[in-house]
Structure 1
Amino acid sequence: MDGKARAKAVKSPPGNPGFPFLIIACGCIIAALTFGPRSAMGFFQLPMLADRDFDRNAFGLALALQNICWGVGQPLFGAIADRYGTWRVLALSGILYAAGLVLMATANTAGILYLSAGMLVGFAVAAGSFGIVLAAFARNVDESQRSLVFGIGTAAGSAGMFVFAPLSQQFIELFGWSDALLWMAALMLLVPLLAIPLTGTSSTGRAVAAVSNQSLAEALREAFAHRSYLLLTAGFFVCGFQLAFITVHFPAYLADIGIDAKYAVIGLALIGLFNVGGSLASGIIGQKMSKPLFLTLIYVARSVAVAAFVLLPPSPATVIAFSIVIGILWLSTVPPTNGLVAVMFGTKYLGMLGGIVFLSHQIGSFMGVWLGAYLRQTMGSYDPVWWIGVILGLIAALLHWPISEQPVERGIVAAAE
């Protein structure tokens, strides 16, 4: 196929607008719905432990399992979405999510908790994750808009965190923790309906991979031989460790240091609110600034923020200040990280290759959640995990510094890329 033919092959489908508002809008609502409930799981820890024969280790292990299932599932569901269509995978996400939350609401043994809050919710979040939604966005906009829509989609997930933090707490107060989970399960059934406009596959949309007939196995070999991709994957482990620990253990940590429980709600809501602005800003900055340098600065800033929070005397003011700062930095890594994968390899296998990077993130999440519960149970304090997060943040900064923001070298380069 010559250059003109390839350029013709990657043109937009007839009728596809310059900016596909319906696809973006539905994808953003899905991101908010799928990210919201799992980010509010920390609020269920203490009431659930008081009502069931579980301890912190069991709850922590269930949510650690959730994070690892999310990570393992994402490249799998990403590959399925690349091949068979985004909407099918997103519809499955809504069904699995609702089933997992219903089962969690009735769990009376640790095994059922692991199955529901761990495996079902974990795989549901994987099927409806940022990687699935952002890959669909990338295929339906020009390359010049890609970082921006990544920021918009990530901000939508952040909005879900902002909404579900107070909403879940309100549901718990009004209905009890068990019925609160049932209400959230009902909301998840909206996802299959919202998924209908997101019908594309890897062979449709504006941007097809640079080698249109590249096989999945060839794409994997290419990625795992690429030094910058491996550094990006290793660095994203740290993002997962830091964020999952805070998401799950922040309310319990504040209770340990004598901060009123209402500030846990306020703190997580502020993280979600400022995460919206941080994610949007990240999408814009990533379009104009070196993405590896930007990621380096984000990880350094996180380490500084955590160190200051742990060292300063605990008070409502420090909780609010920390929540604002960490909220700005919360998911600001997602647009440049996904953007780098798209720059390196194009968009044909973006769902799968982005999912593999995210698997590293979720291995980090597993370690952050599990280690937080284990060290709190055995040492009586969360402080060691905070400091591990500080050190890992500095290591992540060093890993991102040498990443090259260039397309992988190939024999044939498509006009669209």
Structure 2
Amino acid sequence: MNTSKKLSLTQILIFGGLMVTLSMGVRHGFGLFNLPITAANGWGRESFALTIALQNLIWGAVQPITGALADRYGALKIMLTGAVLYILGLIGMALSTDVLSFTIAGGLFIGLAQTATTYSVIYGILGRNVSPEKRVWSMGIAAAAGSFGQFLMIPLEQGLISGFGAQDALLILALMTSLMIPTAFMLREKNFLQTHQLGDQTALEAAKEAWTNTSFRLLNLGYFVCGFQVVFIAVHLAPYLKDLSSTYPAVASPTVATTALALIGLFNIFGTYSAGIFGQHFPKRLLLSGIYLSRSIAIAAFIWLPLSPMSTYVFAALMGFLWLSTIPLTNAIVAQIFGVRHLSMLSGLVFFSHQLGSFCGAFFGGYLYDRTGSYLLVWEIAIALGVVAFMVNLPIKERAIRHAVTI
């Protein structure tokens, strides 16, 4: 194969990072729209939570299909389609006056868009164009870009909501996401057809092989927990702080929630980058186990100790360091076991489990709150799940299967 036509690592990291920054950054701020949108339309929190939950479920369910299409036909057309859907979804959310249209725009359109503009597709490009010895590190960089997007976009989205209102803020975000279109062209793989000739295993055969692999199933279980925890916190942290304002009035200001979510994004940059570095030198399964156990400890301390702006910021910083650091490690294990021939599709499969967890975290956060008047039960579920994820990652075997293509 003529490798001279491969995308350079710098090019992938810059433009792949920009794609993930925009896609992940915008979605991380959706929790800030929860209260203004539900209040303006007279909806319960369960309605907004259901939209975000559906968004995550569609993202996960369709991601393996989008990944398989990107592996088969190249990532460019997939990313362009995703960019258009993202723009239409944000416009639809802004203009919706009923729950159904809002759910179609924010749940269906943006859920589909995220399958084409986030990690699985970008990691497929990395896998095909980056040498194995730099793969985990480069995946960590791409994940850090998504973290930077959260750090950058959350204060910006709060500022847009405060200055223009939720509706116009969504329209401005739609304009910003149009930058995904030229970014996709910068990630076009000119040598893709040559790369595609490697290996004769079909996508269906690869999927069947993965699901019969015990380590892959354990990765799925752990990734479910990851999705549950991070999406519950992203969507429900701001309402949780507001609910406790009568007992802890210092956390009532929207600035506290906005700062906390931004700190998650800031420290996530360091966490995901560190995961990429450590994943080159230490067993990735042990790093994953440590991340999940540390999350449970941080959550327990946050809900059981007295609440203040400072305790919220410390919690956000700790969770931020652990937030998406699972992504490069999980995907690197998939690439190490199965190779990169079907990496976008296999990453999509394991990501589906993540998004099932995301659906549960977003929806049951709102559902159990509406039924009990408190988020306490959901926090406790998140703690217990973290302990489960700690245990199931320990026995994972990181050995490559015999026929894996590891270009």
- TM, length-normalised to structure 1: 0.93
Equivalent residue pairs, number: 401
Alignment partner of 2:83 out of 69, 82, 94:
94
Q: Deviations over 1:379-402 (max 9, x none)?
A: 010011001000000001111000
Matches within 5 A, 1:389-408: 389-408=382-401
Residues 201/351 of structure 1: CA separation in 2 closer, same or farther (3 Å cut): farther
The answer to whether the aligner puts 1:146 opposite 2:135 as a matched pair is yes
Aligned-partner SS, 2:155: helix
What residue in structure 2 maps to residue 197 of structure 1? 186
Q: Structure 2: state its 5+ residue gaps.
A: 246-250
The answer to whether the aligner puts 1:255 opposite 2:236 as a matched pair is no
> What is the rounded CA distance, in whole Å, between the counterparts of 2:364 and 2:194 in structure 1?
42
Matches within 5 A, 1:206-221: 212-221=199-208
What residue in structure 1 maps to residue 296 of structure 2? 303
What residue in structure 2 maps to residue 130 of structure 1? 119
The answer to whether the aligner puts 1:163 opposite 2:152 as a matched pair is yes
What residue in structure 1 maps to residue 267 of structure 2? 274
Residues 240/337 of structure 1: CA separation in 2 closer, same or farther (3 Å cut): same
Matches within 5 A, 1:69-80: 69-80=58-69
What residue in structure 1 maps to residue 248 of structure 2? none
> What is the rounded CA distance, in whole Å, between the counterparts of 1:338 and 1:15 in structure 2?
25
CA offset at residue 146 of structure 1?
Answer: 0.1
What residue in structure 1 maps to residue 211 of structure 2? 224
The answer to whether the aligner puts 1:388 opposite 2:377 as a matched pair is no
CA offset at residue 20 of structure 1?
Answer: 2.5
Matches within 5 A, 1:99-110: 99-110=88-99
Amino acid at match of 2:26: P
Residues 204/321 of structure 1: CA separation in 2 closer, same or farther (3 Å cut): farther
> What is the rounded CA distance, in whole Å, between the counterparts of 1:56 and 1:16 in structure 2?
47
What residue in structure 2 maps to residue 6 of structure 1? none
- Contact preservation (8 Å) 1:83, 1:202: no
> What is the rounded CA distance, in whole Å, between the counterparts of 2:393 and 2:369 in structure 1?
31
- Contact preservation (8 Å) 1:82, 1:349: yes
- Contact preservation (8 Å) 2:67, 2:345: yes
CA offset at residue 205 of structure 1?
Answer: 7.6
Amino acid at match of 2:78: V
> What is the rounded CA distance, in whole Å, between the counterparts of 1:399 and 1:184 in structure 2?
39
Q: Structure 1: state its 5+ residue gaps.
A: 1-8
CA offset at residue 409 of structure 1?
Answer: 3.2
The answer to whether the aligner puts 1:33 opposite 2:37 as a matched pair is no
CA offset at residue 312 of structure 1?
Answer: 0.5
What residue in structure 2 maps to residue 3 of structure 1? none
Aligned-partner SS, 2:395: coil
Alignment partner of 1:316 out of 305, 309, 330:
309
What residue in structure 1 maps to residue 281 of structure 2? 288
> What is the rounded CA distance, in whole Å, between the counterparts of 1:202 and 1:323 in structure 2?
42
Residues 284/53 of structure 1: CA separation in 2 closer, same or farther (3 Å cut): same
> What is the rounded CA distance, in whole Å, between the counterparts of 1:132 and 1:306 in structure 2?
31
- Contact preservation (8 Å) 2:74, 2:192: no
Residues 202/216 of structure 1: CA separation in 2 closer, same or farther (3 Å cut): farther
> What is the rounded CA distance, in whole Å, between the counterparts of 1:201 and 1:141 in structure 2?
15
The answer to whether the aligner puts 1:66 opposite 2:55 as a matched pair is yes
> What is the rounded CA distance, in whole Å, between the counterparts of 1:319 and 1:87 in structure 2?
41
Aligned-partner SS, 1:257: helix
What residue in structure 2 maps to residue 13 of structure 1? 3
- TM, length-normalised to structure 2: 0.95
What residue in structure 2 maps to residue 342 of structure 1? 335
Q: Deviations over 1:184-240 (max 9, x none)?
A: 00111111110113223995688x79x711111211121111110111111100000
Greater helix content: 2
Amino acid at match of 1:56: R
- Contact preservation (8 Å) 1:85, 1:201: no
Residues 302/200 of structure 1: CA separation in 2 closer, same or farther (3 Å cut): same
CA offset at residue 159 of structure 1?
Answer: 0.5
CA offset at residue 15 of structure 1?
Answer: 4.4
- Contact preservation (8 Å) 1:169, 1:265: yes
Percent of aligned pairs with the same amino acid: 39
> What is the rounded CA distance, in whole Å, between the counterparts of 2:387 and 2:89 in structure 1?
36
Amino acid at match of 2:281: K
Residues 373/265 of structure 1: CA separation in 2 closer, same or farther (3 Å cut): same
> What is the rounded CA distance, in whole Å, between the counterparts of 2:192 and 2:338 in structure 1?
15
Residues 348/228 of structure 1: CA separation in 2 closer, same or farther (3 Å cut): same
Aligned-partner SS, 2:306: coil
